[in-house]
Structure 1
Amino acid sequence: MTTSEVSGVGDASEVGGGSTDVVLVRHERAVAVITLNRPHALNAMTRPMATAYAEALRAADADPAVRAIVVTGAGRGFCAGADLGVLKQGPQAIRAFVPPPDDLPDLALRLRKPVIAAVNGPVAGIGCAYLLGSDIRYAARTATISTSFARLGLVAEYGISWLLPRVIGTPHALDLLLSGRTIDAAEAASIGLVHHVTEPGDVLARAVEHAADLAATGAPSSHAAIKAQIYADLERPRSEALAHTLKLMDGSFDGPDLAEALAARTAKRPPAFAPLPPP
């Protein structure tokens, strides 16, 4: 939950009530690009920023025009933890900083639409939880990642102890959480923490291109169902997961998206899948 400060710049439009543009949103094709916007502090998280970010995610999930979401940071950082001023104010201030359950970093996992992280710079502490809240992760070659909790006398926060072993395996998760050490993008890719490593200036464009491809080629209903299956099946016995899958399969055979996909292939045209209804 620590950070340092540097200078930087942000762009785009304001989201999040009166929170002074701490989160920015723009739309590119069918992709919502959400930017954490405290570049002078490496996008260290504040309570208003966490609230605005959760609002932006929910708005994108509810928008029929949005079919995929990209999350990034303004300036040189992705999210370097909780704002240092919070830690200096003592335990009560830290308790007040913790977002309510509906706004916790795992919110992105509960959305119906794919969420892709474009990690442009340092990630630490709660920033790791926001990183893990994405479904697909891009990182600039120069990005760094640190859990940092053990070095601050803290526990593995925000559900990281549940999710990180499922993403990278128990041995790697224990290594990162017990040591609190900083790893680079290459090591993060080698253990499966990020999927793709790019040159620093390309990370956002690559992530948006990936999101736009998902938006153009996949059925929104399929994306929503698959995300729900994957995360629910992490906690189901195999037999229950299989039974649930067979039930979903049977329903999808009669659905309009399969018929549209087959018609589009016959006509050699892109499919025109229907948007998701409001949640």
Structure 2
Amino acid sequence: MAGTEHLTVERVGATLVLTLDRPEARNALSLPMLVGLHDGWMLADADDAIRSVVLTGAGGAFCSGMDLKALSGHGTDPGDPVRARLKADPDLHWKAMLRHHRPRKPVIAAVEGPCVAGGTEILQGTDIRIAGESATFGLFEVRRGLFPIGGSTVRLARQIPRTHALEMLLTGRPYPAAEAARIGLIGHVVPDGTALERALETAALINANGPLAVEAVKACVHDTAALSEADGLRLELERGRPIFDTADAKEGTRAFAEKRPAVYRRA
């Protein structure tokens, strides 16, 4: 499948696995990696046979943030096709980092090692998060006099308690996996080296469900997050009622009654 110099793409059943693949730099973000991520999200959206996405990193690391030198393009050929892609779509890097794009399929993060700065910012665009027990998290930008512009000043306090969000943003300190789980940044801590395995197991559970229902549920959770309860409940009915009229819904109830696995056809 398509990929780039620093981003590998593979299929495991109905799951698309995107691997940040620059282990010599602890998978720091580069231009080829951003283009590969963008294309991976677009592929997942376009291919109905893909029902979930797992995002992980190679070499025992998730992502150590942005490689500012690499992102500047210093020393690269101005005619490089990767730079041409970024010039053609100035928003591409934000879509790649899930700041300006929300995949319609569930995204599961499988984290080993460092997931800091830009890594923690990308993490906030994922839906389910699993980490090895030695993984570390944090937003280090203020330590360098920088601003975490990948969405963290908006998203983090909506995902974890405000006091923990501000502490993470303002101290720039690292968070071990156990603490990240305690404050709700991640959902599961597993033995080192098994995060990807656990993520694929979770993806398989999702893949067995009705895809129309899964995608509608994900969209509704995100789209109602900033609404009042009353407005959110109205939107839930708008999104949820049509699902009951689908052939997949009928197949699901029929399969339950017949004590067999359902065969969903996105219809």
Residue 193 of structure 2 aligns to a residue whose secondary structure is helix
Q: Is the 8 A contact 2:248 2:266 kept in 1?
A: no
CA distance in 1, matches of 2:176, 2:257: 46
Q: Is the 8 A contact 1:104 1:158 kept in 2?
A: no
What number of residue pairs does the alignment pair up? 254
CA distance in 1, matches of 2:241, 2:51: 24
Q: Partner of 1:79 in structure 2?
A: 63
Q: Partner of 1:184 in structure 2?
A: 176
CA distance in 2, matches of 1:108, 1:271: 35
Q: Is the 8 A contact 2:210 2:248 kept in 1?
A: yes
1:57 lines up with 2:48 in the alignment: no
1:152-192 deviation line (CA, Å, top 9, x unaligned):
11123211111111111210000000000001000000001
Q: Note the residue ranges of structure 2 that are not aligned, 5 or more in a row.
A: 75-86
Q: 1:273 aligns with which of 254, 259, 264?
A: 264
Residue 194 of structure 2 aligns to a residue whose secondary structure is helix
Structure 1 pair 102–185 and aligned structure 2 pair: CA distance change class (3 A)? closer
Residue 51 of structure 1 aligns to a residue whose secondary structure is helix
CA distance in 2, matches of 1:137, 1:115: 9
Q: Quick check: 181-190 or 250-259, which moved more?
A: 250-259
Q: Is the 8 A contact 2:34 2:93 kept in 1?
A: no
CA distance in 2, matches of 1:67, 1:87: 31
Q: Quick check: 75-84 or 131-140, which moved more?
A: 75-84
1:123 lines up with 2:115 in the alignment: yes
Q: 2:13 aligns with which of 26, 29, 38?
A: 29
Structure 1 pair 107–272 and aligned structure 2 pair: CA distance change class (3 A)? farther
Q: Is the 8 A contact 1:109 1:134 kept in 2?
A: no
Structure 1 pair 88–225 and aligned structure 2 pair: CA distance change class (3 A)? closer
What is the CA-CA distance between 1:84 and the residue it aligns to?
4.6
1:122-166 deviation line (CA, Å, top 9, x unaligned):
011111111111100000001111200110111232111111111
Specify the code of the residue in structure 1 equivalent to 2:45: D
Q: Is the 8 A contact 1:51 1:103 kept in 2?
A: no
Residue 201 of structure 1 aligns to a residue whose secondary structure is coil
CA distance in 2, matches of 1:87, 1:115: 25
Q: Partner of 1:9 in structure 2?
A: none
Q: Quick check: 220-229 or 242-251, which moved more?
A: 242-251
Q: Partner of 1:4 in structure 2?
A: none
Q: Is the 8 A contact 1:50 1:99 kept in 2?
A: no
Q: Is the 8 A contact 1:60 1:69 kept in 2?
A: yes
Q: Quick check: 243-252 or 66-75, which moved more?
A: 243-252
1:244 lines up with 2:228 in the alignment: no
TM-score if structure 1 supplies the norm length?
A: 0.84
Specify the code of the residue in structure 2 equivalent to 1:105: M
Q: Partner of 1:93 in structure 2?
A: none
Specify the code of the residue in structure 1 equivalent to 2:217: I
Aligned-residue Cα RMSD (Å) equals 2.3
Q: Is the 8 A contact 1:126 1:157 kept in 2?
A: no
Structure 1 pair 109–86 and aligned structure 2 pair: CA distance change class (3 A)? closer
Residue 209 of structure 1 aligns to a residue whose secondary structure is helix
Structure 1 pair 178–153 and aligned structure 2 pair: CA distance change class (3 A)? same
1:95-131 deviation line (CA, Å, top 9, x unaligned):
x9x8537624226962111100000110111111111
CA distance in 2, matches of 1:184, 1:157: 23
Q: Partner of 1:5 in structure 2?
A: none
Q: Partner of 1:264 in structure 2?
A: 255
What is the CA-CA distance between 1:88 and the residue it aligns to?
8.5
1:66 lines up with 2:50 in the alignment: yes
TM-score if structure 2 supplies the norm length?
A: 0.88
CA distance in 2, matches of 1:194, 1:84: 27
1:136 lines up with 2:128 in the alignment: yes
Specify the code of the residue in structure 2 equivalent to 1:239: A
CA distance in 2, matches of 1:34, 1:122: 17
Q: Note the residue ranges of structure 1 that are not aligned, 5 or more in a row.
A: 1-12, 91-95
